[in-house]
Chains A and B, each alone.
Chain A
Amino acid sequence: MSTRDLFALLPLLLIAASAVVVMLAIALKRDPGLAAGLTLAGLTAAFLSACAAAPIVPRQVTSLMLVDKYALFYMGLIIASAAVAVLLAYQYFEKHDEQREELYLLLLLATLGCAVLVASSHFVSFLLGLEVLSVSLYGMVAYLTGRRPALEAGIKYLILASASAAFLLFGMALIYAATGTMEFSNLREVSLSGSPFILLSGIALTLTGIGFKLGVVPFHLWTPDVYQGASPPVAAFVATTSKSAMVALLLRYFYLSGALRNHAVFLVVATIAVLSMCAGNFLALRQTNVKRILAYSSIAHFGYILVAFLAGSTMAAGAVAFYLVGYTVTILAAFGVVTILSNSGQDAEDLEDYRGLFWRRPAIAGIFTVALLSLAGIPATLGFLGKFYILAAGANAAAWPLIVILVVTSVAGLFYYLRIVVALFSDPPEHAAPVEVLSRGGALVLAALAILLLWLGVYPIPLLDLIRTSVAGLN
């Protein structure tokens, strides 16, 4: 392994190192501010090193990791969203008495797992990254041990994630048995020749594992409970960082192996996409809990992403990346609002908590409105351009049935986003509890996210160019 290889891996090394540093710091002195600060510093360093590594990639570092611009782009996205989650977590746990330093440790480890996933080109690194991510997430989801829903969500996630990991492992074993290789790129030649039953079963089982992490139908059952039970910053992390990493991996896995060219695999993924779009949007209609609404909507959003993914044209990888950036920024903003409005006793999750918010705290409600409109795909937001890009990718590949379903289900989606917006703008209840004055830091983060949503929604050229160069090497 040369120094250049190490330099390419520097983001990963830095995240791992900062996890150790944070651990030692906690051992010496319990101070949430210090732990959060060190975590942020580590993430910033990792982000900068990812930028710095851009000129020397692509490099295949051992047979496990492929660091290219694609991987670096997603590492940047993951690290940035993790950093926002750290900021939100700091805001949120300030109001709580629990020991809150270890959360940052877990968060760093989970981020490390994600970063490994986006760079992996081999089943071993895939599994390693996934397990590092999952194990840290169990702890994060159940972090508020005093709350029943958090524990329930943690246990649920633990059991389902372990089961899906077992499926995944079995799938990998089957693929290895059929092909004798564990590298994604070596699968290419094999999977094109015919469709041996064992190989197909292997691919189907690995899809189970991936689908579980993405929370797409029929592997979505954990999503609402975990979103509801976990604290909002953790839910934001689960919704953005871990899912982005999984999408990046899915794309690389399928592009390198060429599995989508197999008709059966295509059909299965298409079915998953359609079911996710329908179930996500229609199940959200009857919810009154904002976190659960966001959970069901995320199921639908990953259905949309799969539509672009299926299009498989040159536009597809760009559309997926663009949509993920938009989705990440939007969801972070939405959960940021939930975080800021929550107090020590109760999270602000019921629709009633948001009634008339605009007339009491116009800025926060305005940001939430922008986030909801972005999720609904209304112009002048990043969400609209993302949806436009996906529709364009779908139309380019002439996947008409899929994009018509996307359009129809997303109209149903509008209905529940509007319900929240209506609540925000309706008359405030008579004896409303005063909304707590929020810290300046949290408000700044939210404002930055909202401005990013609008700015890139109107002027997306920088982001488009970045994505274009990043995904160019994927094929």
Chain B
Amino acid sequence: MILIWLLVILFVAGILAGIAARWDALLSRVIALTAIGVDFVLTAGLWGTDASAQKWIAEVNWNWIPSFGIHFHLAVDGLSLLMLLLTFFLGIVSVLTSWTEIRERVGFFHFNLLWVLTGIAGVFLAVDLFLFYFAWELMLIPMYFLIVIWGHERRVYAAVKFFLFTQCSGLLMLIAILALYFVHHQVTGIYTFEYSELLGTHLSPGVELLVMLGFFVAFAVKLPAVPLHTWLPDAHTQAPTAGSVILAGLLLKTGAYGLIRFVVPLFPNAAHQFTPVALVLAVTGIVYGAVMAYSQTDFKRLVAYTSVSHLGFVLLGIFSWNQLALQGAVMTMICHGLSTGGMFVLVGGLQERLHTRDLELMGGLWTAVPRLSGAVLFFSMASLGLPGIGDFVGEFLVLLGSYRISVPITVVASIGILTSTFYALRIAQRAFQGPNPHPWRLSDLTPREGVMVAAMIAGLLWLGLYPQPVLNTFQPALQNLQHEASATTAALRR
């Protein structure tokens, strides 16, 4: 039941926050903050419960549209639990970071913010493929509004591009879901969208590859994998800070989550077959993202391209087919959410102060805003993979795992890490060191920003120094998924 409440609280609070702003903008912010906070606490409470015996930590299963075999089925395992925690944590960050940035149309802003979080939480919770698609599409609309109303200069272009990319790939996934649904019916005589029942469906190799590709494209657009990434720099750059945090921190993770949860267990053979392509896409992303990041002058665009690079590691980890790399991939997902989220918060804060994102116009900011600069330096170090910070753990595990299947791929990926040093240092040098051409006089981090950033830094350090509790949480889930994948393979061999 608690899972339903997670969604209902966000959903209702969205409406309330929208209405409340008619009287008082502050009330709207407080409602949003409280609702997400309650969800965070509820989810954290779930973490405590020991559920090693069952497959799911918590579960809700209702009939929804019986004539199609559609269920309203939500379930949580270690993997989705951590993703939910990340969702609600970054949700709180998004509300806080918009506290002074968003001054117009506050009610509608929080309405959209809470609804996009509802959609994302739904994606992480759904284990009925129809429901999953439903949530998958539903999170687009509020995100679209966030970009198109509160975004920067080229917001309409960026929002429409984002929407078209994701919608087109989403519809391909819908076709793939339907194909799976009907094939499953042909084999078993049962119409169902239930994830656990569709596992192990007997597909002929050609069909399996096509259906897998339908899913893969949808997730690769979100991830993003390189040829399909072009929406990302625009959307991230043009979105308001909260939008960038949610895009980079959460929406990209839904793509990775989909790959881990659906593509690998449902279509293990096709995915195996597809491995070489996926690996090449992954390292291309890693290197391309890093190189592009280096050549940007727009600070937000730079951070956006680093996401392309980091998510390449996630793709690499997923398609390395061992536990080590997979754990690394999940670890990278969580840490990237925190570090990039933090980076966007700081860049947003900088833009609020300077009214520009252009790195060329910055310089020598360290003397003006020492605390902010220090924080940016920390997140840059996280981005370049400094040991002791969470990102390092994730990427290191991925490289360890991928080394087992392909040495050349691993070497290229490591070069990608090397490149990340360049852009990370360029940020630090360009913006904060050197002469201060405009004698900027700026206010440093406010207590509100300080608390947010400190929490993210603390999280990253914890993940970097003592990642074991988190690894323990998602490990059983990953083993389950791997087990299911091999069961599917075995069923097909028979």
Contact = CB atoms under 8 A, between A and B. Distances in A.
A373 interface: yes
A76 B167 CA distance: 34
Interface residues on B, range: 20 to 34
B138 interface: yes
B151 to A, nearest CB: 11
Interface stretch (B174-182, B266-274, B451-459): B174-182
B171 A461 contact: no
Given A391-B174, A418-B163, A379 B133 contact: yes
A221 interface: no
Given A411-B164, A415-B164, A461 B66 contact: yes
B105 interface: yes
A391 B179 CA distance: 10
Contact of A378 (B105, B137, B179): B137
A455 interface: no
Contacts of A23: none
B171 A411 contact: yes
B400 interface: no
Interface string B168-201: 1001101100110110000000000000000000
B172 A418 contact: no
Contacts of B67: 461, 464-465, 468
A377 to B, nearest CB: 8
Given A380-B138, A422-B156, A395 B175 contact: yes
Contact of B172 (A395, A407, A422, A460): A407
A396 interface: yes
B175 A407 contact: yes
B223 to A, nearest CB: 19
Contact of A464 (B65, B134, B171, B178): B65
Contact of A373 (B141, B175, B182): B141
A254 interface: no
Contacts of B174: 388, 391, 407
A249 to B, nearest CB: 26
Contact of B105 (A359, A404, A464): A359
A414 B144 CA distance: 13
A464 to B, nearest CB: 6
A358 to B, nearest CB: 8
A403 interface: yes
B149 A461 contact: no
B148 A425 contact: yes
B175 A404 contact: yes
A392 interface: yes
Contacts of B68: 392
The interface residues of chain A, by DSSP majority, are classed as: helix
A408 interface: yes
A408 B65 contact: no
Contact of A422 (B148, B168, B175): B148
A134 interface: no
A410 interface: yes
B412 interface: no
Interface in A399-414: 403-404, 407-408, 410-411, 414
Interface in A74-121: none
Contacts of B178: 391-392, 395
Contacts of B164: 411, 414-415
A161 B226 CA distance: 52
A410 B167 CA distance: 10
Contacts of B144: 418
Nearest to A397: B182
B189 to A, nearest CB: 14
Interface string B146-158: 0011000000100
B148 A414 contact: no
B461 interface: no
Contacts of B321: none
Contacts of B445: none
Contacts of A468: 67
A68 B168 CA distance: 40
A407 B181 CA distance: 18
Interface string A352-383: 00000001000000000000010000111000
A318 to B, nearest CB: 9
Contacts, number: 63
A418 B168 contact: no
Contact of B182 (A395, A408, A410): A395
A172 B145 CA distance: 52
B160 interface: yes
Contacts of A422: 148, 156, 159-160
Contacts of A461: 65-67
A179 to B, nearest CB: 37
B138 A379 contact: yes
Contacts of B105: 359
B149 A425 contact: yes
A465 B68 CA distance: 11
Interface string B25-69: 000000000000000000000000000000000000000011110
A359 B115 CA distance: 20
Interface in A411-428: 411, 414-415, 418, 422, 425-426
Contact of B160 (A395, A410, A415): A415
B65 A460 contact: yes
A403 B175 contact: yes
Contacts of A396: 182
A373 B145 CA distance: 13
A378 B66 contact: no
Nearest to A395: B178
Contacts of A395: 175, 178-179, 181-182
Contacts of A359: 105
Contacts of B171: 407, 410-411
Given A411-B164, A414-B167, A379 B182 contact: no
A381 to B, nearest CB: 10
A400 to B, nearest CB: 8
A411 B167 contact: yes
Contact of B134 (A379, A414, A460): A379
A404 to B, nearest CB: 7
Contacts of A380: 134, 138
A72 to B, nearest CB: 21
A461 B70 CA distance: 11
A465 B141 CA distance: 30
A396 B68 CA distance: 12
A383 to B, nearest CB: 12
A396 B137 CA distance: 23
Given A422-B148, A461-B67, A414 B163 contact: yes
A423 B143 CA distance: 17
A392 B68 CA distance: 10
B207 to A, nearest CB: 11
A418 B141 contact: no
A373 B133 CA distance: 16
Contacts of A407: 168, 171-172, 174-175
Nearest to A392: B178
A45 to B, nearest CB: 32
19 contacts: A373-B141, A378-B141, A379-B134, A380-B138, A391-B175, A395-B179, A396-B182, A407-B168, A407-B174, A408-B168, A411-B167, A415-B160, A415-B164, A418-B160, A422-B160, A425-B148, A461-B65, A464-B67, A468-B67
Interface of A: 359, 373, 378-380, 384, 388, 391-392, 395-396, 403-404, 407-408, 410-411, 414-415, 418, 422, 425-426, 460-461, 464-465, 468
Instruction: Give the top 8 A-B pairs by smallest Cβ distance, nearest first.
Output: A395-B178, A407-B171, A411-B168, A379-B137, A379-B134, A379-B138, A395-B182, A464-B67
Interface of B: 65-68, 105, 133-134, 137-138, 140-141, 144-145, 148-149, 156, 159-160, 163-164, 167-168, 171-172, 174-175, 178-179, 181-182
Given A391-B174, A414-B164, A422-B148, 16 more contacts: A378-B137, A378-B141, A379-B133, A379-B138, A384-B137, A391-B178, A392-B68, A392-B181, A403-B175, A407-B174, A410-B171, A411-B167, A414-B163, A426-B156, A461-B67, A465-B67
